[in-house]
Structure 1
Amino acid sequence: MSTSVFFVTCPKGVEYLLEDELRTFGMTPIRNAPAGVWAEGALEAGYRACLWSRLANRVILHIGEIAASSGDQLYEGVLKVDWPEHVPASGSFKVTFLGQNSAIRNTQFGAQRVKDGIVDAFRAAGWQRPSVNPKTPDITISARLNRGRLSLGIDLSGQSLHMRGYRTDKGVAPLKENLAAALLMRAGWPDMAQEGGDFVDPMCGSGTLAIEAAMMALDLAPGRKREGFGFERWPGHQPDVWLELRQEAERRAHEGKQGRLPRIAGFDKDSRVISTAWKNIQRAGLEGVVHVECRPVEALVLDGEWAAKGLMLTNPPYGERLSERRELGGLYRALGEAAKQAVPGWRLGVFTGAPEFGRSIGLRSYKQYRLFNGKLPAQLLLFSVDEASEMVPHEPHEPGKLTPRIANEERAAMLRNRLRKNLKSVGQWARKQGIGCYRLYDADMPEYALAIDLYEDRVHVQEYAAPKSIDERSARERLAEAMVVIPEALNVDPELVVLKQRQRQTGTQQYEKQGASDEFIQVQEHGCLLKVNLKDYLDTGLFLDHRPVRHWIQNHAQGKRFLNLFCYTGAATVHAAVGGATRSLSLDMSKTYVNWARDNLALNSADRRKHRVEQADCMAWLAEKPASDECFDLIFLDPPTFSNSARMAGVLDIQRDHGAMVRQAMARLSADGLLIFSNNFRRFKLDADLEAEFEVEEVSASTIDRDFQRNQRIHRCWHIRHRA
């Protein structure tokens, strides 16, 4: 049997599901496209897709591709196609045209040029020309223009395949049938139905989800009740093949009703849509299989015996108007309570264009799928209805609270693509290096001025303060978009994303406590374990940009005495200890960070007698005369740019004071030792006299890892030695 190429269209976001479905029809997917899949297979597979696809909109038989950089070139290419093979001479056709370029600027012009080419091809061959019928044609020609090439095909479907024939009456905001099927597949309903599970939609509207669930469970072909298909008047149609497929569908429909039928029910508070749902159920031939009744979600009770496992799936209101959105928190909270009371042990799926209200349900979502309801971005949130998933319901509309929401899908898609690209490249590099936390994104796009860092399975997001020229409302809109995109693109629970606004700090603000979660997690870096806190402080306890400096210390600390000044949480000391330093002294003014540093050393089994951490004003300590036995082989000096802490004897200004600090540190350095001096003051200039007194080598370039290549000036670093 000869092989054909097909382009099968579907709702946006359903491409991967469709790809798997087409394989079951005997097709081999070639590549995915936005809202569609290219595949190859026998004509029978194309017929099977028309009859059985629960996800497709259209099945287009590809018949050729032509150059179409101009209207004339398009016309000449169309003229060369053997159209009598595809369009009956005495019949009618229409052209659907998608796409444009600099020469073909609207679809009406493009469609007209294709029509002209088809008609003139018949005339040139001496055939009677077919008529053009835009409403009820015998054949529909699909023309899709992309990058100067026009794909031509025969639409085998006729009407869109989402139109099963059972739904002539609609609810207020109905789901299309194939999108409903996609939600059921994503939620795992086909497997649940086979394993004896039941189904409930507590806000069923016109009943589409319940009807599609029943059709899947009973193995009913979606196209079984359609009146006709686009290929039935096509000259290449194979009636015998089609008849066998129709007979097979009827046989499977009969067999599907022989086993246990799942209980399938829908509820809605609106009696009018329940009336519509009953009519749809009757047209689908599912009386006695699907039950619907008028009942609000707050009063949901399941009567009789229901399976211990099943699926509750629903598409609640999105609240497009502000007045409606104020009511959503209560509705979603009631939905969560209804699920806990009525279907414990089941799975709950919520398809919503307002995913921020998912937190009002009171269950932790374990999976989120990004889809579209028409052009509206939406998400399918999946929950396990059990005690382990319970959480305190959270209302998103607290004063000043950011509500994640996409205002511009095209702009959000750019961020999504960038994050996925970075995750693939930088993430692979980090794994190979044994790095568990790294910077994924650093204001790569001007629209999103964010620093996004990964800490194992957590995400730390810092919003850089927007300049005064940027409208505050626009900045918050883009931040709200980012908070939708980030967890979806990185495939993490939104609960594991922490957002902070980063601003220029003065004094010790960057060290001051901002929260009280006391939530610490462990991360690993080049074989070292470190404690970080993503929520309570502006910084996390680990400066990611200094990772190469710490790694260098680890690789050169063997047998060395190590001094860490302004040690913060002691990460560099951990690396020195793991690298074999014989002893170390770490100093910091903050009691909090001194204790944190001790915890970090303990995590790595460092001997506290050999690796001491003490609370001290480093400037005052350096000013003291060193003890005769106090000498170090390796010193790390990384002071803040500015500090005026009340605990200090004076005020630290790195540009003014660094010369004295370096000299005082060098007084404690062994003759062949090394001082690593670093700071992050962007306008910093090293004291020229230091280069006259010591051997000074700037090594900044070698201390910038791959994840900070976009920000080469994030810090500067020098190696300083005594002159021989």
Structure 2
Amino acid sequence: MRQTQNFFATAPLGLELLLADELQALGMCEVKAARSGVYFEGGLVHAYRVCLWSRLANRVLLKLAEFPAATPEALYDGVSALDWSAHLDDGATLAVDFVSQRSQISHTQYGAQKVKDAIVDQFRARTGSRPSVDMHHPDLRINVYLERDQAVLSLDLAGDSLHKRGYRLDGVSAPLKENLAAALLLRSGWPEINAAGGDFVDPMCGSGTLLVEAAWMAADVAPGLLRESFGFMGWKQHDRGGWYALLDEALARREQGLARLDASIYGCDIDRSAISAAQANVDRAGLTDKVEVAQRSVVDVRPRKASGLLLVNPPYGERLGDDDTLVPLYTGLGETLRERFQGWKAGVFTGNADMAFKLGIRSHKKYALYNGALECKLFNFEVDAARFFEPRADESGLSEETRELNRLLRRARALAQKPEQGAGAEMFANRVRKNLKNLGRWARQQGISCYRLYDADLPEYAVAVDLYRSEQENKTWLNVQEYEAPASVDAGKAESRLIEVLAVLPPVVEIPPEQMFLKVRRKQKGASQYEKQGEVGHFHQITEGGCRFWVNFQDYLDTGLFLDHRSTRLMIQQRANEKRFLNLFAYTGTASVHAGVGGALTTTTVDMSRTYLDWARRNMALNGLNGYAHEFIQADCLSWLAAESAKPVCQFDLIFLDPPTFSNSARMSASFDVQRDHVTLLKQAMQLLAPQGELVFSTNFRRFKLDAAALGDAEISDISARTIPRDFERNARIHYCWIIRRK
């Protein structure tokens, strides 16, 4: 074996940089963070140290070989090239984990079968006997990662995921994984707070994961010390002497660390069963005398020192409750912090950012992390009176412009209480009733839950009104967008007409006024249409064509779903079966969802915005579209496309390209103008098409002219008329759309 070898430590999404810092602190060399993990180099004992001491990693992979594997035969030959008798005996057991991205071998079970066949056939040819398969407790776990037909073959030195420490047997609803709990502690500054003599408290401790991880971190306890087995223990090249030396060191450090631990680490929960599980886990972790748990409400928690860290993972509605119960819970937590924990640090990890504003304390840092597939945020607070504010139910985190729009909404709601309306308002109301009757019938027949109800049908009332219906919440919302009035129109008269619109709509549609939202459509520059308007963070679930999406009415100019592209998305769903799909300028990934639901083999979603790419991940997860078949790339699409199109491999069978009209974002390598640059953009995208592939190109630039002559090697079909939904027929130039194929 070489003295220095290449390893890859995997980690949950969002923990890569933290893991890189941890590995450097553990003495690893050539540490480099990547997506979902960190590369490092070192000897075998270095890798053992990571398995024993990493609080963040999931697995540690030892790279054995790398080779091209564009065909099953090439994969088989590449695996067969290794001498497997150096790694396991013919009577041993093995398991194969196979992951494929953007490769011709896309069926992971088939790929794993070919790898297994290559190994067992080698043994059978040499000895007449062969290893057997044991997916749960194998002597050797083998990992193959196939990307763009290039295979990386590794041994999994961890075996089971390293987050399984061995102390947690009983859990409660929605438990935190141990390595995520450790990440929350690190992001909240617990090591520094502990070093300064501070305490730790979790007032909603559940099964006690944060308590155990905090105590082990403070006492220098190796997180893998209780595990019964690791993946390297059944490997023929296992260095037992090196491993036992690490264990002796860890045992000595645990004894010394627990002896000097003087921080008070305690937790409580109102649920008796949670406290029972937490106490059992604390006992198994060897912390019976070091960690205290008690059945108690959050409002009864008291600090024992003047400083410390309060870290909590409260319910946030995805799995455990709803707003009616969450508001008093978060409000009570905020009151407890403000009244009793001044001078402390606090961390609140939640998937409901709206609830964080109920605490009444301004956070000084926020971190995006994932609890499984669910995007959450860790809010860090300094509990200081200077950062307190009185929580407001309706406008927490909103921009000044949105507050002004809400002022208009409040005026309109007051006017809506009066039964008499002017002639103009009545004319507008009659038009909305007519549209609601006709379009509503059509929408129900087509299974459409969100549609444009009104689009400046009457010149005097220049607004667009979109109706959103959620079957999950049994609610209807209206998203009203005022088209910016020309300078020749009196501002006071324009405002009066807008207030009339807002007053009329709720009773006509039969919804509470609070379920109506207002935006002003202005000419957008660059990516300003995607800029945040507020930070309420309240999302609603809607359906479209068998897909589910999260929409947001308050934080952004757009809701996350472009309704005029509904027909285009449904067409993509119908064409996506068994296809490799690419979504460029993907926004919230709605086209990727349709492709995935339509049976796409793989989806690749590219956007420059981390916010919208995270939104796309949430949309995909909402539809059960998880795993390595669905890739998300944060990149400037122009630079990414230029780099990818220079490569010789055709990668995609179906591409959706819906670029902005113009962009000059500082994060882009150059400005973009769809009229000026579309030929280059389309040619590069076509380089990524498989021979029979299709490129769906769309633009909302109303004066756009496609330069078909410059695309002479392409077969172009104008499908604009077919992709304008019925609710946008009044505005036939809302977008243009083409299907482009190679000749």
Matching residue of 2:99: 98
- Structure 1 stretches of at least 4 aligned residues deviating more than 3 Å after TM superposition: 100-103, 123-128, 465-468, 470-474, 499-502, 506-514, 537-540, 542-545, 704-714
C-alpha distance 116-388 of structure 1, shift in aligned 2 (>3 A): same
In the superposition, the TM-score normalised over structure 2's length comes to 0.55
In the superposition, the TM-score normalised over structure 1's length comes to 0.57
Distance 1:500 1:216 in 2: 51
C-alpha distance 394-124 of structure 1, shift in aligned 2 (>3 A): farther
C-alpha distance 326-80 of structure 1, shift in aligned 2 (>3 A): same
- On the 8 A contact 2:347/2:378 being kept in 1, the answer is yes
Which consecutive residues of structure 2, in runs of 5 or more, have no partner in the other structure? 403-461, 474-478, 496-518, 527-662, 677-700, 702-743
C-alpha distance 73-344 of structure 1, shift in aligned 2 (>3 A): same
Map 1:104-115; keep pairs closer than 5 Å. 104-115=105-116
Q: Deviations over 1:379-406 (max 9, x none)?
A: 10111100111112133599x99xx9xx
Following TM superposition, by how much is the alpha carbon of 1:246 offset from its aligned partner in structure 2, in angstroms? Answer: 0.4
Distance 2:521 2:78 in 1: 62
Out of 303, 314, 317, which is 2:315 matched to?
317
Equivalent position SS for 1:258: helix
Following TM superposition, by how much is the alpha carbon of 1:120 offset from its aligned partner in structure 2, in angstroms? Answer: 1.9
Distance 1:543 1:266 in 2: 50
Following TM superposition, by how much is the alpha carbon of 1:298 offset from its aligned partner in structure 2, in angstroms? Answer: 2.3
C-alpha distance 301-711 of structure 1, shift in aligned 2 (>3 A): same
Equivalent position SS for 2:260: coil
Map 1:506-655; keep pairs closer than 5 Å. 506-507=486-487
1:65 to 2:63 alignment: no
1:362 to 2:360 alignment: yes
Distance 2:69 2:233 in 1: 30
Matching residue of 1:221: 222
Equivalent position SS for 1:393: coil
Distance 1:508 1:200 in 2: 62
C-alpha distance 508-269 of structure 1, shift in aligned 2 (>3 A): farther
Matching residue of 1:307: 305
- On the 8 A contact 2:184/2:378 being kept in 1, the answer is yes
Following TM superposition, by how much is the alpha carbon of 1:219 offset from its aligned partner in structure 2, in angstroms? Answer: 0.4
Matching residue of 1:484: none
Matching residue of 2:326: 328
Matching residue of 2:25: 24
Following TM superposition, by how much is the alpha carbon of 1:45 offset from its aligned partner in structure 2, in angstroms? Answer: 1.1
- On the 8 A contact 2:32/2:38 being kept in 1, the answer is yes
Following TM superposition, by how much is the alpha carbon of 1:90 offset from its aligned partner in structure 2, in angstroms? Answer: 2.7
What code does the residue aligned with 2:271 have? D
Following TM superposition, by how much is the alpha carbon of 1:472 offset from its aligned partner in structure 2, in angstroms? Answer: 4.9
Map 1:667-678; keep pairs closer than 5 Å. none
- On the 8 A contact 1:69/1:101 being kept in 2, the answer is no
Out of 480, 483, 488, which is 1:503 matched to?
483
Matching residue of 1:642: none
Matching residue of 1:74: 75
Distance 1:232 1:194 in 2: 36
Out of 375, 378, 382, which is 1:377 matched to?
375
Q: Deviations over 1:244-281 (max 9, x none)?
A: 10011011111112324200111111011001100000
C-alpha distance 466-293 of structure 1, shift in aligned 2 (>3 A): farther
Matching residue of 1:192: 193
Distance 2:56 2:482 in 1: 45
What code does the residue aligned with 1:25 have? L
Matching residue of 1:586: none
Matching residue of 1:338: 336
What code does the residue aligned with 2:168 have? R
Distance 1:286 1:158 in 2: 26
Following TM superposition, by how much is the alpha carbon of 1:145 offset from its aligned partner in structure 2, in angstroms? Answer: 1.5
Distance 1:347 1:47 in 2: 35
Following TM superposition, by how much is the alpha carbon of 1:29 offset from its aligned partner in structure 2, in angstroms? Answer: 4.5
Matching residue of 1:118: 119
Equivalent position SS for 2:275: helix
Matching residue of 2:298: 297
Following TM superposition, by how much is the alpha carbon of 1:25 offset from its aligned partner in structure 2, in angstroms? Answer: 2.1
What code does the residue aligned with 2:391 have? P
Q: Deviations over 1:612-660 (max 9, x none)?
A: xxxxxxxxxxxxxxxxxxxxxxxxxxxxxxxxxxxxxxxxxxxxxxxxx
Distance 2:280 2:312 in 1: 20
Equivalent position SS for 1:12: coil
C-alpha distance 148-387 of structure 1, shift in aligned 2 (>3 A): same
Distance 1:396 1:122 in 2: 69
Matching residue of 1:388: 386
C-alpha distance 331-466 of structure 1, shift in aligned 2 (>3 A): farther
Following TM superposition, by how much is the alpha carbon of 1:30 offset from its aligned partner in structure 2, in angstroms? Answer: 4.7
Distance 1:147 1:130 in 2: 30
Matching residue of 1:34: 35
Equivalent position SS for 2:135: coil
C-alpha distance 102-144 of structure 1, shift in aligned 2 (>3 A): closer
Map 1:6-25; keep pairs closer than 5 Å. 6-25=7-26
C-alpha distance 132-471 of structure 1, shift in aligned 2 (>3 A): same
Equivalent position SS for 1:293: strand
RMSD, aligned α-carbons = 3.7
Following TM superposition, by how much is the alpha carbon of 1:342 offset from its aligned partner in structure 2, in angstroms? Answer: 2.6
Following TM superposition, by how much is the alpha carbon of 1:327 offset from its aligned partner in structure 2, in angstroms? Answer: 2.1
Matching residue of 1:147: 148
C-alpha distance 81-198 of structure 1, shift in aligned 2 (>3 A): same
C-alpha distance 544-307 of structure 1, shift in aligned 2 (>3 A): same
What code does the residue aligned with 2:21 have? D
Which consecutive residues of structure 1, in runs of 5 or more, have no partner in the other structure? 405-464, 478-498, 515-536, 546-703, 715-724
Matching residue of 2:160: 159
Distance 2:73 2:217 in 1: 48
- On the 8 A contact 1:79/1:118 being kept in 2, the answer is yes
Distance 1:500 1:386 in 2: 40
Distance 1:510 1:500 in 2: 21
Following TM superposition, by how much is the alpha carbon of 1:206 offset from its aligned partner in structure 2, in angstroms? Answer: 0.5
